[in-house]
Structures are given as C-alpha cells and as structure tokens.
Structure 1
Amino acid sequence: MSQVSISDAEWQVMNVIWDGQPLTAQEIVASLSAQTDWAPATIKTMLHRLVKKEVLTFEQQGNRYVYRSRAKRSACVKQASRAFLDRVFESEPGPLLAHFMQHTKLSAQDIAELRRILDEKER
C-alpha cells in the first residue's frame, strides 16, 4: 500500500471489512448502519473513496458488489502509527510511550507484555 491517509470514518468501514471480508455492499451498509447514523449513500461514498485510494477492491457479482481489502490491517496500523508519531511526538517514540503509560489504565497482563518487549529491545 502506498502512503495513503485513511480518515477516522474510513477506519470504521475498513474495520468492518477486515473483520468479515469478503462482504457485499449491503452487508457493509447493514453493519455500519447498526453502529452509526450514516445514510447508506454516505457509506457507499466511503467505499468508493477507499477503492480509489486502492485500500479496497471489489468485484461485481450479478447486481451485487463484493468488497475485499487490498491492504492488510497491520500495514495500515503501522502507517497510521508512524504518521501519528511523526505529527504529534516529532518522531520520538519515548515521549509517546511515556504519555500512554502515564495516562492509560494498564492491566497486569499489559504491563508484563510491555516488560517483555522492553527486555527484548534491550538485548
């Protein structure tokens, strides 16, 4: 996936698709209509935008459109994370991690996982 910016609303659309693909336009509209107050035309516009951004692909099956992701969720998360780090924390991961650790409730499991990752990074 090239450098593509996905809006917050488009993330909602993509999460529905990643969780259930392949999905018809009607299935996507039904799922998002249950979660949001978006009109079907709004959802279809976002699908069109995501196809144009080359994040989604579709095929026509009769009178239905079936959508699949062209981009892996992990690749999109990595790109969005990098953009956030660059924009908000001037590319410095230390302050970002400190901020989230200080301002987020962490479970014992979260803390253990962070320790494991930090120990790995130290080696």
Structure 2
Amino acid sequence: MPSGRISAAESRIMEALWARGPLSADEIVQDVAPEQGWGAATVKTLINRLLKKQAIRSERAGGRTVYHLQLERDDYVTEESQGLLDRLFGGQLTPLVAHFARRQALSPEEIARLKRLIAELDEEAR
C-alpha cells in the first residue's frame, strides 16, 4: 500500500501504467505529457514522487528503467472513494447517493440499476 495519498497529477501516471502495464519513463511521457501539456521533467518528477510513495517500483530491463505498479487500480479507487465518503459524508454511503440524486436527475435506467443493486445487496446480506 502506498505511503502517501496520490495526487490528481500522479494519478495520470498511474492511469498510463494501469492501461498499458510496465512502461519506461519515455513511454509514460509519450502517454501523458501531450494531453496534459506537461514536459518530460514534470512527468519524471511525478514518477519520482510515486516511487517515494511506493505506488510504483522501478526495475532495470534491457538497459532501461521500467516502472511497475505496486498499487492495483481497484485498491486505489476503494481508498479514494472511502476518503471522499469520510470527508464529506461521515463515512456513510446513503447521504452521498441522496446528495447526487437530489442535485441531478437520475434516468429511469439509473434508478433501475440502483434498485437492482439494492436487491442484490439485500440478498447477499441474508
């Protein structure tokens, strides 16, 4: 587990690694720099931060350094989601869903999906 919270900028590096697997710094730069408007130095700074946080690890392969994930995307999403729930809704899911349902109209499809999810969770709890 990483030793610090991953910033939004650092998450762009993580997304590239989750999408394509182990990558060199140059490959990461090619993936994220153009869409973010970042230079290579910025990307390498973010890589170093992720190394210090132990979210990724480096390995020498074929004369170059390749970066590997230490944090799975699902674990990251769970941690970030729980952080949001804790900060804004006292760790409770119901107020989060109620907040969004009241602020933006749910489509009939979304309502049906939520009902199915609740039914599935109810079955699992029995």
Which entry has the higher C-alpha Rg, 1 or 2? 2
How high is the TM-score relative to the length of structure 2?
0.86
Which deviates the most, 15-24 or 106-115? 106-115
* Equivalent residue letter for 2:36: T
Shift of 1:62: 4.4
Confirm or deny that 1:79 pairs with 2:79: yes
Report if the CA contact (8 A) 2:25-2:66 is conserved.
yes
Give the distance between the partners of 1:120 and 1:32, measured in 2 at CA. 38
* C-alpha spacing 1:13/1:65, structure 2 compared with 1 (3 Å): same
1:65 corresponds in structure 2 to: 65
RMSD in angstroms over aligned alpha carbons? 1.9
Confirm or deny that 1:20 pairs with 2:20: yes
* C-alpha spacing 1:54/1:17, structure 2 compared with 1 (3 Å): same
2:114 corresponds in structure 1 to: 114
Structure 1 outlier segments of 4+, above 4 Å: 104-109
Report if the CA contact (8 A) 1:56-1:70 is conserved.
yes
1:32-71 → structure 2 map (5 Å cutoff): 32-71=32-71
What number of residue pairs does the alignment pair up? 123
* Equivalent residue letter for 1:60: R
Instruction: Provide structure 2 residue ranges, at least 5 long, that are not aligned to the other structure.
Output: none
How high is the TM-score relative to the length of structure 1?
0.88
The share of aligned pairs that are identical, in percent, is 37
Report if the CA contact (8 A) 2:85-2:96 is conserved.
yes
Shift of 1:98: 1.3
Give the distance between the partners of 1:110 and 1:3, measured in 2 at CA. 36
Report if the CA contact (8 A) 2:2-2:55 is conserved.
no
Instruction: Provide structure 1 residue ranges, at least 5 long, that are not aligned to the other structure.
Output: none
* Equivalent residue letter for 1:35: E
Shift of 1:58: 1.3
* C-alpha spacing 1:63/1:105, structure 2 compared with 1 (3 Å): farther
Shift of 1:110: 3.7
* C-alpha spacing 1:56/1:109, structure 2 compared with 1 (3 Å): farther
